[in-house]
């Protein structure tokens, strides 16, 4: 694994526990962790359960005892690491968004396609597809229980940078993160919506805003928190919020909102879908619930489905009904699906091609917003 901040920690947790929960055809061994600082990487490796340490990811990618490379770094290094790892014959799991630009994502998707022909697999880590309620929503749409999809209403609301004194961490710097709320959390709702509906966005019209234009420089800029101020200010070079409307293949109309300024909302990934035969509604802050309305049973209203039954996606391997799962379990599910695909010799989803599809939407949103919200094809 490369990187050991927030995503590195949650991925490590998944690698550690996946084989103790699911019956897998293979068992992961946590061979080595790579990070730039020898001391901090060794400390993280010890805490997270990695056997060895590398201070250069290039050495990690060359190791004979490494068959999978898990990329948990900021977006500016995804393309270089992923392409090198695939060329070296390593399967690659890469954090989202796939890259910082469409050009990088195209190069990664091309490398993934070429590698797949050699039996080398790749997957982008859109973990919210693996929330049981989200996977159940997908199942309902596939089974036709919603009928013809007319509306998709998606929001991803956080508030961790409302304070103007919050430091300029890497997620607020375009050269490292590619974009702001748009790429960090907007990418999740774009993927989740396209996954549930089973169709792609064809065009968008967008607005973006950076409310706080300068922030204190942080000494360290890892994860979601800075590590001590330097007293100087730096420019925020990404969006704080991105809103857009869009149209799906097949004609459904959609609205998307990704913001880090929704005071009081911590990790509210919400999606509501209206079809001719029914509707679905989901909010990650109550992630074990899916709300379902069937037009044929009008008087029943929206019903709360507690997604903890053994026949619900992923749930059977966990706890008895009603005991519930959390954020970290979505990564365990992602790791399970990835390992199963590798063992079966099939291509896991979401593929780098799916990641590229999201990247094209992100680029269209930025283009539209820069052109005064003009309609922009994806």
Residues binding ligand SOE (CB under 6 A): 6, 158, 184-185, 224, 267
Would you say 140 or 166 has its CB closer to ligand SOE? Answer: 166
For residue 267, give the 3-state DSSP assignment. Answer: coil
Would you say 73 or 376 has its CB closer to ligand SOE? Answer: 73
Provide, rounded to whole angstroms, the least separation between the CB of residue 138 and ligand SOE.
Answer: 18
Would you say 132 or 278 has its CB closer to ligand SOE? Answer: 132
- DSSP annotation string for 200-266: -EEEEEEEEE-S--EEEEES---TTS--SEEEEEEE--S-SEEEEEEEETTS-EEEEEEES--TT-S
> Please, which contacts does 313-316 make with residues 24 or more away whose CB atoms are closer than 8 Å?
313/132, 313/135, 313/136, 313/139, 314/130, 314/132, 314/135, 315/132
User: How far is it, in rounded angstroms, from Cα 74 to Cα 178?
Assistant: 9
Provide, rounded to whole angstroms, the least separation between the CB of residue 224 and ligand SOE.
Answer: 6
Provide, rounded to whole angstroms, the least separation between the CB of residue 6 and ligand SOE.
Answer: 6
Provide, rounded to whole angstroms, the least separation between the CB of residue 135 and ligand SOE.
Answer: 16
Position with the least CB separation from ligand SOE: 184
User: How far is it, in rounded angstroms, from Cα 80 to Cα 99?
Assistant: 10
User: How far is it, in rounded angstroms, from Cα 289 to Cα 318?
Assistant: 16
Residue pair 150/249 in contact (Cβ under 8 Å)? The answer is no
Would you say 122 or 158 has its CB closer to ligand SOE? Answer: 158
Provide, rounded to whole angstroms, the least separation between the CB of residue 239 and ligand SOE.
Answer: 13
Q: Would you call 181 exposed, middle or buried from its count of C-beta atoms within 10 A (0-12, 13-18, 19+)?
A: buried
- DSSP 8-state class, residue 319: P
- DSSP 8-state class, residue 327: H
Residue pair 120/185 in contact (Cβ under 8 Å)? The answer is no
Peptide bond into 97 cis (omega under 30): yes
Would you say 224 or 343 has its CB closer to ligand SOE? Answer: 224
Residue pair 351/123 in contact (Cβ under 8 Å)? The answer is yes
Best CA proximity match to 255, nearest among 204, 180, 194? 204
For residue 185, give the 3-state DSSP assignment. Answer: helix
Provide, rounded to whole angstroms, the least separation between the CB of residue 10 and ligand SOE.
Answer: 9
Provide, rounded to whole angstroms, the least separation between the CB of residue 267 and ligand SOE.
Answer: 6
> Please, which contacts does 35-38 make with residues 24 or more away whose CB atoms are closer than 8 Å?
35/2, 35/3, 35/4
Would you say 70 or 184 has its CB closer to ligand SOE? Answer: 184
Provide, rounded to whole angstroms, the least separation between the CB of residue 78 and ligand SOE.
Answer: 13
Provide, rounded to whole angstroms, the least separation between the CB of residue 96 and ligand SOE.
Answer: 6
Would you say 184 or 353 has its CB closer to ligand SOE? Answer: 184
């Amino acid at each position: 694994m490369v990187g050991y901040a927030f995503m590195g920690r949650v991925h490590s947790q998944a690698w550690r526990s996946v084989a103790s929960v699911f019956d897998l055809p293979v068992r992961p061994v946590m061979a080595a962790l790579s990070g730039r600082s020898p001391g901090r990487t060794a400390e993280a490796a010890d805490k997270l359960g990695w056997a060895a340490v590398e201070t250069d990811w290039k050495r990690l990618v060359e190791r004979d005892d490494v068959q999978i490379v898990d990329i948990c770094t900021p977006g500016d290094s995804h393309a270089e690491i992923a392409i090198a790892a695939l060329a070296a014959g390593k399967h690659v799991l890469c954090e989202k968004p796939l890259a910082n630009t469409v050009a990088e994502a195209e190069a990664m998707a091309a490398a993934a396609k070429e590698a797949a022909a050699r039996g080398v697999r790749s997957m982008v880590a859109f973990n919210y597809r693996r929330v049981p309620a989200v996977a159940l929503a997908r199942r309902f749409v596939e089974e036709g229980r919603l009928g013809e999809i007319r509306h998709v209403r998606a929001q991803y609301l956080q508030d961790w940078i409302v304070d103007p004194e919050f430091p300029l961490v890497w997620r607020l710097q375009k050269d490292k993160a590619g974009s702001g709320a748009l790429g960090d959390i907007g990418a999740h709702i774009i993927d989740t919506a396209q996954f549930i509906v089973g169709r792609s966005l064809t065009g968008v019209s967008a607005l973006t805003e950076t409310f706080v234009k300068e922030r204190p420089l942080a000494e360290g800029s890892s994860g979601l928190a800075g590590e001590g101020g330097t007293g100087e200010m730096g420019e925020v070079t990404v969006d704080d919020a991105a809103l857009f409307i869009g149209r799906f293949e097949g004609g459904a109309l959609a609205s998307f909102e990704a913001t880090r300024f929704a005071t009081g909302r911590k990790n509210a990934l919400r999606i509501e879908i209206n079809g001719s035969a029914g509707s679905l509604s989901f909010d990650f802050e109550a992630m074990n619930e899916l709300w379902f309305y069937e037009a044929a049973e009008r008087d029943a209203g929206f019903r709360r489905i507690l997604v903890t039954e053994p026949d619900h996606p992923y749930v059977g391997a966990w706890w008895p009904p009603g005991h519930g799962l959390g954020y970290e379990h979505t990564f365990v599910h992602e790791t399970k699906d990835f390992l199963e695909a590798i063992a079966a010799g099939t291509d896991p989803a979401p593929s780098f091609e799916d990641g590229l599809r999201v990247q094209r939407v992100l680029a269209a949103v930025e283009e539209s917003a820069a052109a005064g919200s003009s309609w922009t094809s994806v």
